[in-house]
Structure 1
């Protein structure tokens, strides 16, 4: 029976009836065909209940595997005394439905990175499927300040937080318009054996700033428990407030979720970034308690401010070209209209000398190296292989027509005072954010029409708008009746025109 229980660790969950049958089959094979008298079924069930205590053999398969492959020795702890000394990265499906770019309703994956010393979430991105390029972009966002965006309240500025903004600003000018989220440079990143984290793309991106990558043991999620707990907390503190929340399994899923006003992927990404700055970074964490005063729990921002006093701050020597180097690459041709990537056209006047030209890279068939940010569709960067002058920035042609959450931002550079952020302002911001997220995007009051009807309506509006700009024709006033003119005026003779005959000789006289 112990052998049958051991075989069930990595298999699908079955009932006790199957385990008793498997026990009998194992017994027959070991006894070489001899008839063995088994106890009653009640006795076998009592024995099975005793041997499966705490193993979840007939329960959750995830819990069963975790218990079976867990640590047998006492848990240890990897101490981290400085920001960035140890960081953890992982991804998990997000329990909410979103509306993707093509209008299809689906689920996305959340990939995040957390600092062990301060519990700061340095970056978190949403993608339909996590790939190696997504992990590389996550690393680039970790070492880049989170800029304030239009619509965010001033309480979320770093200058109004507990972070030592004035001191950090003298070392790093990038923090002038930053939000209240620390910039942390990783020294070591702990990850699992997911394809996105052990890929050549992510390892090369970590090798560029000299970051050590430490994969955890297989089947040992407890070795990166901080990021596991953080991803679970996102579901309870943020995701369940969104429309289209599915729950963590089918038993907790509601009905007609696709009929709710769902957020798009870019809109949900912006809400998540705002929630991390407003809620997570200002929420007291149980793992950040003062050893001398255990009753005092720090927030991630408070813990970072305390560790900066002891460890100092080293500004990231990451120029704009270094940031572009960390982004994923693609190879495209430079045409007369520009560069087309995923049905978006990018162009720049600086591409004039590269159009319809061979890049000189024979291995790539003359294509040009293009770096792009999957989370920022507003611009791309093209490497100039001929001049060797660096990168050429090309913008999306229709950037001015559609609202892009991560597009160009207009900043107010007027210097303002630095009042301290109050807890009431942050609490009000978080409450407003959750209420706005739960309401979903604004829906039009008009019923949804087929695509053909919308196209016809748009063409009609375009035609009417073009004609409405013209001055209205004024009907000429009817002339006054001339008393001297005859009452019945005869009309002139009407001479009809002949029809055009293409076969007729044009030089023939009529």
Structure 2
């Protein structure tokens, strides 16, 4: 009662104490506060603040800033003072100071001064303040600020050299401060390394941009309480060369992954050539809501993680871009099909903060683990960037896209049973759990499994093609499909109205066009319609591969006459118009063939062309049987009186 305090910028007097509350009065103002709230926030009026004073630092901070050897010397000195100065003794005080000075090898005056400081502040009073002083360099604060501005200007630019940054910094600094001294070269380089720490100006440009977009405040973290609560989708380019099996093209691939945030388990994975489309995102969502098998089956297989229909879905796309594209701007994640499926299943597409890769650190770490544990060991690995690429990687062993995806899916099974440092149970903090173990603990604790309520769920993720049913079936993009389920509906109009009135909805999987799906309107069951050329394929054929194959068959400069084709080839080769490797090799072999006739070729002619053309002309002059019609004409020529031939068409 009656104590004077300085609290919240005003002087107060304690007028009442009531248990844990204190009533304060300042002139005509009263304030009731919780007593523990005054600890550290209030101070006596007669105790001025020590801001900038000699005792500004805490004693614990001062002692913690010493090395073990420095701390040991201070403790030895304190023990000497305890024995010679502070202990009870009949020896005069001055003589004791002299004895302490002899042991410490200092003057009696210094011993007296240090003993006084030891009595006042303890061990912290014996610390030489020079040991804790920061090292000062001859660099002006204005120069540091200018250097930071120059470093910030290279966030979205290509990597500079340190010499270039220093030259620009000095020029800008002298422009703003004419006549001011600039640091020496050695000091400037050392100071530049200190200021660039964490900026990566001279490192990876992608990492530099990512760090620049990092939030400046407290980094929050989204936490899941059970499996299936949050599922994160992301897309990244894969650092492995691949080849498309049908077209034979070298292609870049993009990997789209769906990860359960709670257990880090992979729920869906798809590898696509060139770039990811909205259909690929729908395919990954289909894998999330259906049980998956990772790798070939074995006797020791355990059920793969399956969360059913996730409650919340975070869809983010990186692709070939260095920044994260929020779902609001990612077209493949905001397609009509994806939004319709998520709305039907009750999945919420939650947008993340724009240009913040820190919003999905778990899946970014998965991509790094994938590269370090699997991709680096493949023969077709090309590195994360062009500077990391080896020589003639394309000429080494390669993988077709389906083969590479099969390798990825088999590795995911290994990943699920590998201990993860980022997974731990609060009750068992010393145990590193694998994603499969974390998933099992989560399901045992939460016990939540949201199962899809309809067998038609798979069709929700496929494309709809509206077609009429003809006598031969249905035709989609030049491909004909047929099946027994169409027998009762051939030539009939569908009961559907709207923009495609009278046509039938056919569900198409763009990743495998060998089969499409038709729903019988009477029984509401789904039937498979097979492509007429599907028996000739032993692997899935995508719609993109089918389109590219058709383009190859429709190329120009296609000749019926072989001689004209060869003449055209060599004519274009002599003009330098042949650019393909295969055509160049063929033209060289034709031009290098020796002449077979005894007659010497004319000057300037190509012997191989003349001989080959003459040979083709002789072949044309001979009677040949080209097809069945030639057989009929030859028969009529030899039997002019014959009535005709009877042909049975089966």
TM > 0.5 fold call: yes
- d(CA) in 1 for partners of 2:173 and 2:466? 62
Equivalent of 1:325, from 436, 456, 460? Answer: 460
User: Aligned residue for 1:120?
Assistant: 265
CA 119–64 in structure 1, closer or farther in 2 if over 3 Å, else same: same
- d(CA) in 1 for partners of 2:410 and 2:211? 37
RMSD, aligned α-carbons: 3.6
Relative to total residues, which structure has the larger helix share, 1 or 2?
Answer: 2
CA contact (8 A) 1:267 1:405 kept: no
User: Aligned residue for 1:273?
Assistant: 409
Equivalent of 1:190, from 295, 304, 314? Answer: 314
- The unaligned stretches of length 5 or more in structure 2 are 1-145, 317-325, 543-581, 587-635, 642-650
Computing the radius of gyration over CA atoms, which structure comes out larger, 1 or 2?
2
Does structure 1 residue 89 correspond to structure 2 residue 233? yes
Does structure 1 residue 110 correspond to structure 2 residue 255? yes
- d(CA) in 1 for partners of 2:300 and 2:524? 41
- d(CA) in 1 for partners of 2:269 and 2:377? 18
Does structure 1 residue 99 correspond to structure 2 residue 251? no
User: Aligned residue for 2:389?
Assistant: 253
CA contact (8 A) 1:378 1:404 kept: no
User: Aligned residue for 1:346?
Assistant: 481
Residue 82 of structure 1: how far off its partner (Å): 1.0
- Which deviations, in whole Å up to 9, do the C-alpha atoms of 1:24-69 show, x marking residues without a partner? 77669879xxx76773773765654443333122332222122222
- d(CA) in 2 for partners of 1:372 and 1:318? 22
Equivalent of 1:282, from 417, 421, 431? Answer: 417
Number of equivalenced pairs: 389
User: Aligned residue for 2:198?
Assistant: 54
SS in 2 for 1:125: strand
Residue 245 of structure 1: how far off its partner (Å): 1.3
CA 358–242 in structure 1, closer or farther in 2 if over 3 Å, else same: farther
SS in 1 for 2:410: helix
CA 336–244 in structure 1, closer or farther in 2 if over 3 Å, else same: farther
CA contact (8 A) 2:289 2:452 kept: no
User: Aligned residue for 1:66?
Assistant: 210
- Which deviations, in whole Å up to 9, do the C-alpha atoms of 1:215-252 show, x marking residues without a partner? 21112111111111112222222223333111111222
CA contact (8 A) 2:243 2:251 kept: yes
CA contact (8 A) 1:190 1:215 kept: yes
Instruction: For 1:291-302, list aligned pairs within 5 A.
Output: 291-302=426-437
- Which deviations, in whole Å up to 9, do the C-alpha atoms of 1:266-308 show, x marking residues without a partner? 232233222222x022111212223233231222222222222
CA 133–44 in structure 1, closer or farther in 2 if over 3 Å, else same: same
CA contact (8 A) 2:308 2:449 kept: no
Equivalent of 1:8, from 129, 154, 175? Answer: 154
Residue 354 of structure 1: how far off its partner (Å): 4.8
Equivalent of 1:241, from 358, 368, 377? Answer: 377
User: Aligned residue for 2:398?
Assistant: 262
SS in 1 for 2:211: helix
CA 270–27 in structure 1, closer or farther in 2 if over 3 Å, else same: same
User: Aligned residue for 1:210?
Assistant: 346
Residue 324 of structure 1: how far off its partner (Å): 0.7
